[in-house]
Amino acid sequence: MMTTGQESKWIQAVNGDPEASVSAPVAVARLPLGPARPQKGIGPMAGAGHLGRRKIDGSPGGLWVLGTHGGAGEATIASMLDGSMRASHAWPVREDLPLLEGKDSALLVCRSNAKGLRSAQSAAIEWASGALDPLALAGLVIVSDAPSKLPKDLQDLIITVSGAVPHMWRMPWVEDWRRGLSPVLPDLPRQVRNVVADIQLHTAAHTPSQ
């Protein structure tokens, strides 16, 4: 959980203070890494692109898997999470139900390259600004974009980005996905299955009540 000082530094960095030091809050027993709800004083990232909006209807409380850029792995992640829906790279917004009847949640997905991580950071900051209220943010799934170890600058960027989302998961490299294959979940590596199970348990336990 963020202390007041950590939150202040993070907001300063978002608003462009060059002297602010960004350090990701530490996750302990699944406490939030970053903001669990929109924060006052946060504005959109300068020069960052913004995701579009997609109007939705029906019963609230759904989990929308949202790729923050093309090729993020939105369809792949959504196919492994029971009951989730694809957001088609746009924020799901509804106008048919009042706030008190329930909230939908978005699960961001990006690749582990610089472009993907920055797009996820921009999306997380847009959500934290309150522009998507009452949409909840479940967290971020970072899908490995190569089988090799990430260079230090990308590892550091992941630490920074993780401080902008409530929860973060790392999805390991899967060679079959690069080859365009779609193996069923039981046939995927154990590490992948474990990540999927953890996401499923977390999002089920933290789905906003209706």
Looking at per-residue pLDDT, the higher value among 127 and 2 belongs to 127
Residues 6+ apart with CB under 8 A from 119: 49, 68, 69, 72, 110
Handedness of CA 41, 92, 163, 83 (dihedral sign): positive
Q: What pLDDT is attached to residue 132? A: 87
How does the average pLDDT of the chain come out, rounded?
Answer: 80
Show me where the domains of the chain are located: 63-210
Q: What pLDDT is attached to residue 3? A: 42
Cα distance between residue 83 and residue 122, in whole Å: 26
Mean local confidence (pLDDT), 171-179:
94
Query: What does the CA dihedral 146, 111, 163, 103 come to, rounded to 10 degrees?
Result: -140
Please give the angle made by the CA atoms of 8, 12 and 17, to the nearest 5 degrees: 150
Q: What pLDDT is attached to residue 151? A: 96
Q: What pLDDT is attached to residue 210? A: 42
If pLDDT is split at 50, 70 and 90, which confidence band does 59 have?
confident
Could you tell me the CA-to-CA distances from 133 to 88, 89, 91, 171 in Å, in that order?
19, 18, 11, 28
Please give the angle made by the CA atoms of 195, 196 and 202, to the nearest 5 degrees: 90
Q: What pLDDT is attached to residue 160? A: 94
Decide if 69 contacts 111 (C-beta within 8 A).
yes
Least reliable range by pLDDT among 1-5, 102-106, 117-121, 139-143: 1-5
pLDDT in tens, 109-129: 999 999 999 999 999 999 998
Whether residue 158 has pLDDT greater than 80: yes
Query: Which amino acid does the sequence have at 90?
Result: A
Q: What pLDDT is attached to residue 5? A: 43
pTM for the structure as a whole: 0.78
CATH number for the domain whose boundaries are 63-210:
3.40.50
pLDDT in tens, 63-101: 999 999 999 999 999 999 999 999 999 999 887 655 545
Looking at per-residue pLDDT, the higher value among 206 and 146 belongs to 146
Whether residue 136 has pLDDT greater than 70: yes
Residue 88 tokens, joined: 């088609």
Cα distance between residue 52 and residue 188, in whole Å: 32
